Structure 1
Amino acid sequence: MKLFAALTALSASLVMTGAALSQSDDTDEAPFVPEGYELTGETRSCLSLTRIDSIDTVDENAWLVTMRNRDAYVTRVGSGCRSAARSFTYISYSVPGSQLCRGEIVRVMDQGTTTVVGSCGIGEFEELSPLPEDAS
């Protein structure tokens, strides 16, 4: 059983479920924003591994990163991570320090054989703000 608590400064593995992820390109009409959020316009290149609570696939183009303090970010990834949508895969990455940064390579792993079935680089972390509950 893979747990998010296993994050370390040198290596981290996260079980991923949900939609596949691909790099958004210039032909997209608008960048994807998860339901219930809006983009703030602020970006970060890196996030502290120890402060990340969860990473969830929410769309073919994005991962929703929720921090322990409930801050939220969206990051876009390359098309090599399309296999992350499959229920029998998880992502794995190894970083040189204590942060997950733009450009880090993420591997999509098969749970049964632990072989790499894809890989991609992650993008900048775009800060999200929750919409008011009464917003329509």
Structure 2
Amino acid sequence: MRVNLPLASAALLIAMGCATTASERVDEKVVEKLAGFERTGETVGCLNVRSISSIDAADEKTFLVRVGVNDYYVNEARGRCSGATSNFNHLEYTLTAAQLCRLDVIRVVDNQTGTFYGSCSLGDFERLKDKAPAEADEAS
């Protein structure tokens, strides 16, 4: 059997490219903010949407949710929300009640064109607390 080496090499490179994924984008500002908190283990399934001040993506699975002025929760999505950390996209969700809950779907949408990029369902909302000053310094 005769094998054409350049074709075999090209096929191997293509297969390797398919087996790896591009590294996901991380929002360093959100990651830094998240590092100043400690997870409490206390979870809730829903948050009142009127009390949510902001939702920021640290990466394509981790969301920092600000409630009111100084309360924070972390949400680990079930699956990746492709494009969630891009400055050119925003998050959208549809509510059936006045709460944002576990398993609700959030969508990633382009700011200018309205193009849909991806979606994921939310996990539980875990309450965060400020780290002690010594712990916060070590995390930085």
| Equivalent of 1:19 in 26, 48, 73 | 26
Q: CA deviation at 1:41?
A: 1.2
How do 1:1-136 and structure 2 match up within 5 A?
19=26, 34-135=34-135, 136=138
**Structure 2: how far apart are the matches of 1:80 and 1:42?**
23
- C-alpha distance after superposition, 1:5-37 (max 9, x if no partner): xxxxxxxxxxxxx837xxxxxxxxxxxx92011
Over the matched positions of the two proteins, sequence identity in percent amounts to: 36
Distance 1:59 1:133 in 2: 25
- CA 1:69–1:111: 2 relative to 1, 3 Å: closer
Map of 2:15 onto structure 1: none
- TM normalised by structure 2 equals 0.69
Displacement of 1:98 after TM fit? 0.5
Cα contact 1:19–1:84 (8 A) shared by 2? no
Q: How far does the alpha carbon of each residue in 1:23-61 deviate from its partner, in whole angstroms, 9 at most, with x for none?
A: xxxxxxxxxx92011111110000001111111122343
Q: Unmatched 5+ residue regions in structure 2?
A: 1-24, 28-32
Distance 1:78 1:58 in 2: 15
1:82-106 per-position Cα deviation (integer Å, ceiling 9, x unaligned)? 2112221111001111100000011
Question: How many pairs are equivalent?
Answer: 107
Structure 1: which 5+ residue stretches go unaligned? 1-17, 21-32
Cα distance in 1 for partners of 2:103, 2:97 equals: 14
C-alpha separation in 2, matches of 1:56 and 1:123: 15
Tell me which protein shows more strand as a share of its residues. Answer: 1
Match for 1:112: what amino acid?
Q
Higher RCO by CA contacts (8 Å cutoff, separation 6 or greater): 1
Max Rg structure: 2
CA distances 1:85-135 after superposition (whole Å, capped 9, x unpaired) = 222111100111110000001111011210211111011001111112233
* Counterpart secondary structure, 2:81: helix
Report if aligned partners of 1:106, 1:121 keep a CA contact under 8 Å in 2: yes
